[in-house]
Structure formats: C-alpha cells, structure tokens
Amino acid sequence: MTEPTDSPIGIEVNWSQNGFSAKLRSRLLSALDRFGATKIEQIGLDAERQVATHRAMTDAHLELLTAAASEVGSEIRNDPKLAQKALAAFARAERQTENIHGSVVAAIEDLRDHPASDVEQEDAPEVLDPDFMNRWETYAGGATAEAVRLKWGQILASEIREPGTFDLRTLRIVDELDRKTAVAFQTLCEGRIGGSVPNLLRNLSPVEISDLEEAGLIVAGPRFILPEAIDAPDGSRWWAFSNASVGILISQKNPPSLLEVVKGQVKLPVTTLTQAGRALSSIFSDNEDAAFRRLFEILDQDGVGAVKFGWVVDRTLVDKARPD
C-alpha cells in the first residue's frame, strides 16, 4: 500500500503531533477507506460523539433507491409488504453504518489520546487483516449503545497499534460478554502486572472470578510468580519483583506473613489472563506502576521493613521507602 499523505481525511487528526509510524497511519487510513469514514463531515472529537450519516452514504442511498425503484418499481407498487421490507432493509443498513462510523470515531479518539510509539517492527503489516475487519464490522454494526461503540472503537485502535492482538475467537468472546462480567474484568485489570494480577490486588468476589473463568478471560486454578533472588550491596538477601521501570523487594530474612515461602522460595499467588484476556486488557489504561504501589502498601502493612519499593535503574532497584 502506498504511504498515506498528510492530506485531510475528513476527521480532525493531528498526525505530526501523534507521531504515528507510517505503517500505523497506513493501517488506520485503510480502515477509514473501508468504512467510508474519510467522507464523514468535520466533527469536534472533544464534543459528544454523534456521527450523522455522511453525505456520500446519503447519495449512495438515493442512487440505490432510484435504481431499485426502476428495477422493481412495478412489483413494489403492487406489493406494499415488499415495499415495507425494502424500506426496513435500507433503514437497517443506515443504522449499521451509523454504528460503524461511531465506533470508528471512538477508535480515532483512542489513538489520539493514547498514541503508539513511532518504533514499529519491520514485518508489521500496512493493512489490517481482512478476516479481522469483516468480523469487527459485523460486531460494530450492531453497536447502538455509546458504551458498546466505545468498546469496539478501542478494540479497533488496539489492533491498529499492534496487528494480531485480537483473533477471531477473542472477538467472539468480547461480543458475548455481558456488561456485569465486562465491568468485573476491567476492575481486575486495575491490578494487572504483565499478563497476570497478584491475588492480593483482586477486588472481586468468588462468583465474579468464576464468571471470568467461564468467559475465557482468566485461567482456572492457582498460579504463582516466583520473584528473582538477589543480593543487596550490604549483604542482605531479597526477592525482586519488577517491570522495566518500577518494582518491589521482599526480604528473605523476614518475608511478609501474607506470602508463602516454600523450600526457600517466596510464592506470589496470581491470576493469569488467557490470550483473550490479555488482548482485551490492551484496551484499558496501563496501571502497572500503580499496581506495584498498591502491592507494596499491602505487603508493608506491618511496617517492619520487610518490603521495599523503588524504581529500576540499570537493573538495580533504587530504594524508596514509601511511595509519594
């Protein structure tokens, strides 16, 4: 696909400010072209997301109606039920178009508010997978509620950022989620660190956990993370649990009572996300640093210094006694 230019696309998006990579821009523009969104009238993305049927769609309807009337005019005149069916079909197509465009606008807003890095893998595709687009279009076409349009917009944005995040099975799982289970999963993901959630950060009932397992978003059964054992410069021994920027140290001499130590290794119970769960979690804000802060506060309840919190600098945790 040829590299897109910076020409207007009918929706106000500041490409240079967002710093999108060329391939990401190509994927977005190909999606807009597919759904006719390049012809949507200018709208304020900060205002309410109310997308009227654009002029091109109206013109297409008129042309289609004219052609249909010419082709089956006599049949419609002689069969009022057929005329009603034809009008219902056009109305349904118009609603689906409005739903899709509403979801596309939500995707653009999400990309604008959460721009991706301009560094991208060389083998990343320039267009989205047609099977994904076909299935996404089906689901987004039925998104009459604003919250549902937002969900499918976020999914499209996530797939544009990182193609292959949502496979067809995951799209089906997301479509079948009831609102209660979806809210429970979003709550769970507030404590997500990588592909799992420490059980100490779960704020869900056993019934909600069971629902998430049944929905295929989390793995049934106990799972554990085994933090890495390290030696501090003063000779003390710790277990380290961190991501690329922040983490905690757990004392080997006096570990918190909330954690189990088996054969000299501390075990941190976690709830693991499935592939579908990891994909769906990508539409939520990244709260890993906040999750580490919460985990530190829970483990450090007795205040005896058995846990330290800090930032990772050159593979060394810089101690910070308590978070700001």
211 touches 180 (CB < 8 A): yes
Residue 233 backbone dihedrals phi, psi, to 5 degrees: -55, -30
Task: State residue 40's pLDDT score.
Answer: 44
Query: Model pTM greater than 0.85?
Result: no
Assess contact for 267 and 259: CB atoms under 8 A.
Answer: yes
In this structure, of 14-18, 88-92, 127-131, the range with the lowest mean pLDDT score is 14-18
DSSP string, 165-230: SS-HHHHHHHHH--HHHHHHHHHHHTT-BTTEEEGGG----HHHHHHHHHTTSB-SS-EEE-PEEE
Beta bridge partners of 249: 240, 308
Per residue in 277-306, pLDDT tens?
Answer: 999 999 998 899 999 999 999 999 877 788
pLDDT digits (tens, 9 = 90+) for 84-128: 666 566 666 677 888 888 898 899 888 888 877 656 677 788 899
| pLDDT for res 88 | 60
What pLDDT sits at residue 122? 72
**Does the pLDDT at position 223 exceed 70?**
yes
Chain segment 44-79, per-residue pLDDT in tens: 433 333 333 344 445 555 555 565 555 555 666 666
- Residue 120, Cβ density class (10 Å: 0-12 exposed, 13-18 middle, ≥19 buried): middle
pLDDT reported for residue 269: 95
| Helix or strand holding residue 317 (H, E) | strand 316-320
Check pLDDT > 80 for residue 238.
yes
CB 88 within 8 A of CB 67: no
Is the pLDDT at 266 greater than 60? The verdict is: yes
CA dihedral 235, 240, 243, 244 (to 10 degrees): 10
Tell me, letter by letter, the H, E, C secondary structure of 121-170: CCCCCCCCCHHHHHHHHHHHHCCCCHHHHHHHHHHHHHHHHCCCCCCHHH
* pLDDT of res. 236: 85
Over the stretch 134-171, which tens digit does the pLDDT of each residue have? 999 999 998 889 999 999 999 999 999 999 999 999 99
